[in-house]
A and B are shown apart, each in its own frame.
Chain A
Amino acid sequence: MTDPEAVPFDRLCEPYLHRWGPYRLTRDPISATAIRRFCEVAEDGNPVYWDEAYARTTRFGRLIAPPQSLFAMTFGAWWTPDHVRERLEADTAALNEDGGDGGQAAIFALCDRFGFVVNTVAGQEAEYLAPFGPGDGRLKMRSMVTAVTGEKQVRVGTGVFVTSVTEYRTEASDVPVGRSTLVLLRYRPREGAE
């Protein structure tokens, strides 16, 4: 039996790379309210996010969400009652009838086992493929891990960099609206870090 600590971290993760995880579905359809709350964050007054009548006169022909809000729009809800959650789980299961469970959960479980429990975003790249907005329904997304590094010494401790790709589609038309690549640093904080 091999001591798991002796196998390099990146080698342990290899079997879990390049496997699409299941689709996840947002709880709520894209709404003008969610768009405006996102716009408040950096005080973005672009009228195609705020003014329906004006937006209809633009190339978009309708109110749209800031493309850069895609990640925020698909963040998990804070609280959901059981009856709504059950319906959402059923809808999600219907999307994943043929799919496997991907490799991301297994990689994060390995991170936890090695004590890399704190995470911070080290890099992010997004491609926006089509405008989306109210009327497009919910968003669905799926991810896969494409790369994991070996253990590295970083300023805040010891950790690994995990690279994931996520694809986003609208529920209404199944059109891909975006693709993002996220590099996450998962780390064990240095003793007495301040």
Chain B
Amino acid sequence: MITRFVTRRWDDVREGDSIGSITFPVTLRTLMVDVAGTRDLYPIHHDRDFAKASGARDIFVNTMFYEALFGRLATDWAGPEAFLRRLRFTMKSPNCPGDTITSRGHVLRTYEAGGQRLVDLEIHLDNQLGADATIANLTLELPG
């Protein structure tokens, strides 16, 4: 049986809608896959001595990990016909091996601009140490 992919239509989205929640455990393996997939060899993401000498708690996932995760959360919710138009986020506290990320997000607004049907999302990543470790604002273009 072929998996079916559901596309969310702009007409069906309402402000305040939840986009759901996932849990993502960060392990040493997460950091290795992160380096391999994003090509980021900056030692703060794989060298624990370097990270600690730089004032960090431990090695931590890089910026591109968050790009990957926020993009995934958006299209997991919106479906394969959605196109990410804008992504902005602030990293307030790092995620290191042993941490567990929990996501939550909702629709901020729906609007049309430049002939595009758009949805703004706000997504928060918390970890076991506290809320709002990373907060993102995204704009998605959806089919009508």
Chain A residues with a Cβ under 8 A of chain B: 37-48, 54-55, 58-60, 66-69, 71-72, 75-78, 118, 120-128, 131, 155-157, 189-190, 193-194
Inside 8 A of B40's CB, which chain A residues have their CB? 72, 75
Chain A residue nearest to B67 in the complex (CB): A68
Closest A residue to B35 by beta carbon equals: A41
Q: Which residues of B contact A (CB under 8 A)?
A: 5, 24, 33-34, 36-41, 44, 52-56, 62-65, 67-72, 75-76, 80-81, 83-91, 143
Contact A54 B67 (CB under 8 A): no
Which of B67, B84, B143 gathers most chain A CB within 10 Å? B67
Additional 13 contacts, C-beta under 8 A, given A58-B80, A76-B39, A123-B89: A44-B68, A46-B80, A54-B5, A59-B143, A67-B84, A71-B63, A72-B64, A72-B68, A125-B86, A125-B87, A126-B88, A131-B83, A156-B54
Instruction: State in angstroms the CA–CA spacing of A44 and B34 once bound together.
Output: 13
Min CB–CB distance B100 → chain A (angstroms): 15
The main secondary structure of chain A at its interface with chain B is mixed
Decide: B69 and A193 in contact? CB cutoff 8 A: no
A125 to B135, CA, bound (A): 12
B75: which A residues are within 8 A, CB to CB? Answer: 44, 46
Q: How far is the CB of A71 from chain B (nearest CB, A)?
A: 6
Find the B residue at minimum CB distance from A50.
B80
Is A66 a contact of B68 with CB atoms below 8 Å? yes
Q: How far is the CB of B36 from chain A (nearest CB, A)?
A: 6
Instruction: Known contacts A121-B91, A126-B67, A127-B86; decide if A189 and B53 are in contact (CB<8 Å).
Output: yes
* Chain B neighbourhood of A157, CB < 8 A: 55
B83→A128 contact, CB < 8 A: yes
Q: How far is the CA of A90 from the CA of B37 in the complex (A)?
A: 28
One of B24, B39, B41, B69 near A72 (C-beta < 8 A):
B39
